[in-house]
Amino acid sequence: MSKQQAPIPLVDLSADAPCCPPLAQRRVPAETAAVLAPAFKALGDPVRLQLMSMIASAEGGEVCVCDLTPAFDLTGPTISHHLKTLREAGLVDAERRGTWVYYRARPQILRRLAGLLSIEPTAAAQR
């Protein structure tokens, strides 16, 4: 049995709308917080945040681990650990091609995280 966790269970992955109202508008339900917290936790590390940025902004939508590793003064196994954490949090997908692994961001979860953090003016604040 694989130790790898399943990606974050997102509802209606085809929707562009965030999963819930921004946290500045309404309390985040416990169920939603439990689902999204691992992604926020994974991004709480500076190296993982940089890796996520490199993957999400990669030309062509994907990047080889061979292009990620030289950008850091860390060993290959340490970079692999950070990438595994991003994968287990549901932030990236990985595909092995021969010797190398290629990573792609999962835009659906990124949209949901961004939507939760957006600051939209509420009707009360506009008065």
Strands of the 92-97 sheet, one edge to the other: 63-64, 100-105, 92-97
Residue pair 92/39 in contact (Cβ under 8 Å)? The answer is: no
pTM, whole model, 2 decimals?
0.78
Helix 30-42 to helix 107-117 angle, to the nearest 10 degrees? 110
Digit-coded pLDDT (tens) for 102-115: 999 999 999 999 98
Q: What is the torsion angle, in degrees rounded to the nearest 10, for the CA atoms of residue 2, residue 78, residue 45 and residue 18? A: -40
CA atoms of 88 and 61, how far apart (whole Å): 19
The pLDDT tens digits for 26-66 are 888 898 888 899 999 999 999 999 999 999 999 999 999 99
